[in-house]
Structure 1
């Protein structure tokens, strides 16, 4: 019995090492006192200072935050309504419509949205088109989380509210909404995380003009992977990790029904 356990632990360690050692290297070399970043020279915080003085990078970060906040608000609102509709009406077409963007390859979704914006809407690509695109692929994730929360709830709660004379709106506002709020928050955090570091769909739908953080990072690494690139990647990684941890906490609340 010990041998299989040892092999299982060894494989787990190797898998996690493969996943996290590159991330650790990125963080460590963001403090490297060498522009070439080919070998470790010494410790410095200068790259973070230079990063916060880089006006173009700050504009890109601001644009990414605007896109992520706007997309997460829209996706959370529409995804919550989609999750409620899927749970209530049980129509087979509703899950297909809501969850297809989740399963669709990003490059296919990006190309489809690009053609839709240009050929159907005759729309100028920019921040608005990116917000719409990010909202599109985030709705399904929110709907999945909200639907999972609703499926774990006791239907007798809603029946009791109706028996006590509550209108459908009062039942939703006073009973349903507070109970699904952890799922809504988890979906919002997930949408924000997916939006702020998305590259493929952003690349196809941003157009020219305003810089956006993932595209700006890609532009920088085409020249060389400098410690400044490592610094912005580290900050983005920390933000993403914090949001994932928050979303995980709310997911645990959903699973335990609290």
Structure 2
């Protein structure tokens, strides 16, 4: 009887803690989405339901241009970061005899804990020094933002791949080799398909981080290369705008679709 009561109390506490955490996490987002349909220009004063600010948003050329720039940079940087991060993660786990291997592991994960302010400033100084030495890049813009985003997104992908390969059952690869597969065929036919969900997770994480970045992009951007976070931040400094609420809701929907795609793919992959 007492055990049953204790289990019930424990279950109630766990459910309450979970509900409280989800409330603090998602309630502000739900408020933002709700007020994106507010007909009033004053953001926090409800006047009525309307799609007015979504129509205004799609007529705002500055925001649309910044959105396209951000999507392009995020897609490219996530792709390059995933490609390089997979190679780094695979090498650090599978190649045993690497001199100073712990140092390389530490360096590959340092950007995870490095403040964005320091990372952005260091990338700015790097580009200035590089321009003085070889004349490249000639100016700061989309290319410098792309290089900067690839630089710190690689660390996220490398850590994910390292974690996946650490728990990888090597007996599967050994069995494939016993059946006549060489190392290259094992890599492409066995290893990569098994770690594919982790690769996709790394790409999605890199895409989200790049799309959301403000600090590093602010240091490395130039004329005509404003990303979406930079434009939104400049508008918020002048006061809350209903268009920003509408934009944020659309971004939430896009990221939700990507997350749902990964969830369904991962679930199907496991089965």
**Alpha-carbon deviations, 1:199-239, whole Å to 9, x = none?**
12112211232221111111111122121110001111222
CA distance in 2, matches of 1:10, 1:184: 34
1:77-156 superposed matches below 5 A: 77-90=83-96, 91-122=101-132, 123=137, 124-156=139-171
Q: Alpha carbons of 1:109 and 1:249: their partners in 2 closer, same or farther (altered >3 Å)?
A: farther
Provide the secondary structure at the position in 2 that maps to 1:47: helix
**Alpha-carbon deviations, 1:39-67, whole Å to 9, x = none?**
10011001111111111111101100110
Alignment size in residue pairs: 256
CA distance in 2, matches of 1:12, 1:159: 43
Work out whether residues 186 and 248 of structure 1, in 8 Å CA contact, stay in contact via their aligned partners in 2. no
Work out whether residues 183 and 250 of structure 1, in 8 Å CA contact, stay in contact via their aligned partners in 2. no
1:1-258 superposed matches below 5 A: 1=6, 2-3=8-9, 5-90=11-96, 91-122=101-132, 123=137, 124-248=139-263
Query: Where do 5+ consecutive residues of structure 2 fail to align?
Result: 1-5
Query: Where do 5+ consecutive residues of structure 1 fail to align?
Result: none
CA distance in 2, matches of 1:104, 1:89: 26
Provide TM-score, normalisation by structure 2: 0.85
CA distance in 2, matches of 1:156, 1:7: 42
CA RMSD of aligned residues (A): 2.2
Work out whether residues 83 and 143 of structure 1, in 8 Å CA contact, stay in contact via their aligned partners in 2. yes
Work out whether residues 190 and 244 of structure 1, in 8 Å CA contact, stay in contact via their aligned partners in 2. no
Q: Alpha carbons of 1:25 and 1:157: their partners in 2 closer, same or farther (altered >3 Å)?
A: same
CA distance in 2, matches of 1:203, 1:111: 10
Q: Alpha carbons of 1:165 and 1:199: their partners in 2 closer, same or farther (altered >3 Å)?
A: same
Bigger radius of gyration among the two: 2
